[in-house]
Amino acid sequence: MPVIEATDVRKTYRRRGKPPKAALDGLTLIVEHGGVHGFLGPNGSGKTTMLRCLLGLARADSGQMRVLDHTVPKQLPTVIGDVGALLESPAFFPAFTGLLNLRLLARAAEIPDTVVTAVLELVGLEDAADERVKGYSLGMRQRLGIAAALLKEPQLLILDEPSNGLDPAGMREVRELLRRLGDTGVTVLLSSHLLGEVQQICDTVTIVNHGRLVKSGPVSEVLAQASTGAVSVGISDSEGAAAVLSAAGFTVHLDRTGIIVDGVDDGSVVSRALAEQGRFVSWLMPVQVDLEQAFLDLTSDGEPS
Amino acid sequence: MTLPTLAARPTHKVLPLLRSEISRISHRRLFRIFALVLLGGIIVISAIAFANHHSVAVAPDNFGTNTPYRAKQVLPVVALVTSLAVAGIAFVVGASSGGAEWSSRSMTLQLLWEPRRLRLLTLKWLGLVVVMLALALVALLLALGLGALTASMRGTWTGHLPNHFGDQSLGSLLALMVVRGFVFIAMAATIGYAIAVLVRNTGASLGVAFIYFAVAENALRIALMKYGPEPYLLSTNAVAFLIPGGLDVPGRVLTSSQPDQNGMLLGPVMVHLSNARALFTMLVYTALISIPAAWSFARRDVS
């Protein structure tokens, strides 16, 4: 049973003096239980709007949404205790300390103060707990937002750009935390622009553009589908070897490390063609497609595939 | 790093949420500053009154001091002024706490904990009213207590209430004034908070109030003088509600072909605004602002 099951969700914003803008144009988002699910899309692709609709902050025009097997927004009050969320920049009373902000949230839900202390330690804010939030850096606010989302010990954690403002060490800690949560049964939905981050910690990914689903599935599958089938060849006389391969019918071009041979499923045919001409490769490896390239390929034309 | 384990799932009960809201408002710096200034002001003014009155009348100076502190004359005024001051604070704190929740986006965060918007709004409003009434209680007890002390030591409990207050006892008069003061303060807080919920900004909500009281009411008085808008204005009804017995205000202007005994061709009809009528008018104003605010809060998207 998916933890999030949203199908054909539509949301149009009316704009004064401008034509209406479809933020969600029949978007479908399925997130299975457990693990970390990446939610990718360019700016304005509808990611945050989708999360807002799921969390009852914005009203979808149409579509079906279920969270933890409950229809939302109607049954959101039933499941909200199991959903932790951080949307965009965290929102706290700036004149209150970090500790007081969390305590007020926790007390409203009868969560003991010991949990507040624990989540502050978890995100590394224990030393700054008694400082006013307005004195916090963006990264500290982000950590406080994550702490607030974790207060409920949620089954589903929805995070929108949680690494915003964090330094490299902080980003690494958050990634480790999310990965660990994903491994221990919590389902993490991570909306992020940091494709490397998504590739590192996500098991599955949904890519959206123009409010529509572009691609969804395990990260490895998305990468495999975007694979170019190119191999990179290292050889002593690159130019001469490239001429040999061209004459043999391969599509080649030189880069700073060697030769790139496109459209090759099996690297052995390249090494054989070169060996037959008395040329021997130093190394040969498939060109890896990273998520960034896959993302750009999938979203560059502006239309879903 | 490990996630803490809760002994029980988070609850969504009313009382913890209300307590949290009361705590949130009472921790606000603006509220604390206002409360401190109000209570400090009451103490200072009471001390001045104490110093300037004598139990035995001596020759009054140019400022009318050196006379006994007359409880039946002064204490109703003390109750009235204190209620007005707390109501002003309630309006500003209501507008400011509502506006701050939007500007800091903490309203968004709270909706992630309690998505039932009307329930959350009601509890927030209730928390505000409870805090403001607690301040009102402390302020009125302090002001009237210090006034009573001054009357006992430097004044007199004898004498008559002002004529238009009727022949009730001082105790019942003050008790009714305090009750009306509480109702008025609750309405002031409600209106301030409701405007902030509508416009989602502290400055804009205070601006709306300023424009209404400083510009709109006066403009209405001038533009609609012939139709006598005074009995329907919020500020007039506020005063009429707080003053024991109500207030006589000018109403519709009558035109006559014959001059009256003063030789005037025009004259307003005096309208008596009883406490009950003034309360009704203020409730209508409160509803006119609060209902759209609640509707908007329940319907509009939250960013």
Domain range annotation of chain A: 4-225, 231-288
Q: Tell me the three state secondary structure of residue B275.
A: helix
> Given B6, B28, B29, which is nearest A115 (Cβ)?
B6
- Are A259 and A233 in contact by the 8 Å Cβ rule? The answer is yes
CA distance B217 to B11: 46
Find the CB nearest B5 among A77, A153, A186: A153
Q: Is B5 contained in some domain?
A: no
| Domain membership flag for residue B8 | no
Nearest CA in chain A to B113: A80
**pLDDT > 90 fraction of chain B, expressed in percent and rounded:** 56
* Per-residue pLDDT band at B2 (split at 50, 70, 90): low
State whether A92 and B2 contact (CB < 8 Å): no
The residue of chain A with its CA nearest to that of B107 is: A91
Indicate the residue of B1, B28, B302 with minimum beta-carbon distance to A57: B302
According to the model, what pLDDT value does residue A304 have?
43
How would residue A257 be classed by pLDDT, with cut points 50, 70 and 90? Answer: confident
Instruction: Name the pairing type of β-strands A62-67 and A4-15.
Output: antiparallel
Q: Do B302 and A94 touch (CB under 8 A)?
A: no
CA distance A106 to chain B (A): 8
What does each C-alpha distance from A137 to A90, A103, A193, A233 come to in angstroms?
A: 12, 20, 20, 47
Question: Which chain B residue shows the shortest CA-CA distance from A54?
Answer: B112
| pLDDT tens profile B205-249 | 899 989 998 899 999 998 988 888 999 999 999 999 999 888 998
Return the residue matching tokens 């406080």.
A144
Q: Check CB contact under 8 Å for B104 and A52.
A: no
User: For an interface test with B, which of A11, A70, A104 has the most B Cβ atoms less than 10 Å from its Cβ?
Assistant: A104
Minimal C-alpha gap between A107 and chain B (Å) = 6
Q: Which residues of B touch A118 (CB under 8 A)?
A: 4
Q: How near does any CA of chain B get to the CA of A91, in Å?
A: 5
Task: Report, as an integer, the average pLDDT of A207-211.
Answer: 90
| Range name among A14-18, A95-99, A161-165, B163-167 with the lowest pLDDT average | B163-167
- A96 contacts in B (CB within 8 Å)? 27
Percentage of residues of chain B with pLDDT beyond 70: 87
Q: Is residue B9 part of a domain?
A: no
In this complex, do A148 and B12 lie within 8 Å of one another by their Cβ atoms? no
pLDDT of residue B91: 94
Q: What is the ipTM of this complex?
A: 0.79
What does the DSSP 8-state code read for residue B5? -
b/e map B267-276, b = 16+ CB within 10 Å: eeeebebebe
What was the pLDDT predicted at B156? Answer: 83
Chain B nearest CA to A122, separation (Å)? 5
Q: Which residue on chain B is closest to A83 by alpha carbon?
A: B112
Crossing angle between the packed helical segments B71-103 and B117-154, to the nearest 10 degrees: 150
Q: Is B2 contained in some domain?
A: no
Residue of A nearest to B12 (CA): A109
For residue A167, the distance in angstroms to the closest alpha carbon of chain B comes to 18
Strand order in the sheet with A204-209: A83-86, A156-160, A187-191, A35-40, A204-209, A212-218
User: Side-chain half-sphere of A140: how many Cα atoms within 13 Å?
Assistant: 17
Mean pLDDT of A148-164: 90
Inter-chain CB proximity B115 and A96 less than 8 Å: no
Residue B4 domain flag: no
Nearest CA in chain B to A182: B3
Asked if B107 and A91 come within 8 Å (Cβ–Cβ), the reply is yes
Give residue B61's pLDDT.
59
Q: Residue B203: is its pLDDT beyond 80?
A: yes
Angle at which helices B117-154 and B29-51 cross, to 10°: 10
Give the pLDDT confidence of B118-158 residue by residue, as tens digits. 999 999 999 999 999 999 999 999 999 999 999 988 888 88
**Per-range mean pLDDT, top range of A119-133, A277-291, B64-78:** A119-133
Distance (Å) from the C-alpha of residue A237 to the closest C-alpha of chain B?
A: 52
| Segment of A295-304, B126-135, B201-210, B252-261 carrying the highest mean pLDDT | B126-135
Residues spanned by the domain of B71: 14-55+65-299
**B10:A90 CB<8 A:** no
Chain A to chain B Cβ contacts (< 8 Å): 120
Shortest distance between the Cα of B194 and any Cα of chain A, in A, equals: 20
**pLDDT for the residue numbered B36:** 97
| Residues of chain B positioned with their CB less than 8 A from the CB of A109 | 10-12, 16, 113
Check whether A294 has a pLDDT greater than 80.
no
> How many structural domains comprise chain B?
1
Which residues are bridge partners to A130 per DSSP? none
Q: Which residues contact A112 (CB under 8 A, 6 or more apart)?
A: A106, B7
Q: Enter the DSSP assignment of A304.
A: -
Percent helix, strand, coil in chain A, to 5, is 35, 30, 35
**Which residues have C-beta within 8 Å of that of residue A58, sequence separation ≥ 6?**
A11, A49, A52, B301, B302
So what's the pLDDT on residue B131? 97
CATH architecture of A4-225: 3-Layer(aba) Sandwich (3.40)
Strand, coil or helix: what is B58? Answer: coil
Cβ <8 Å between A122 and B8: no
Instruction: Calculate Rg over the CA atoms of chain B.
Output: 23
> pLDDT tens digits for A211-239?
999 889 998 887 777 666 788 889 888 88
Nearest to A153 among B1, B4, B105 (CB): B4
The model's confidence at residue B31, banded by pLDDT at 50, 70 and 90, is very high
Query: Is the pLDDT at B1 greater than 60, yes or no?
Result: no
Q: Would you list which residues of chain B are within 8 Å, Cβ to Cβ, of chain A?
A: 1-13, 16-17, 19-21, 23-24, 27-29, 100, 104-116, 299, 301-303
Mean of the per-residue pLDDT values of chain B? 87
Residue A91 is nearest to which of B3, B16, B109, comparing CB atoms?
Answer: B109
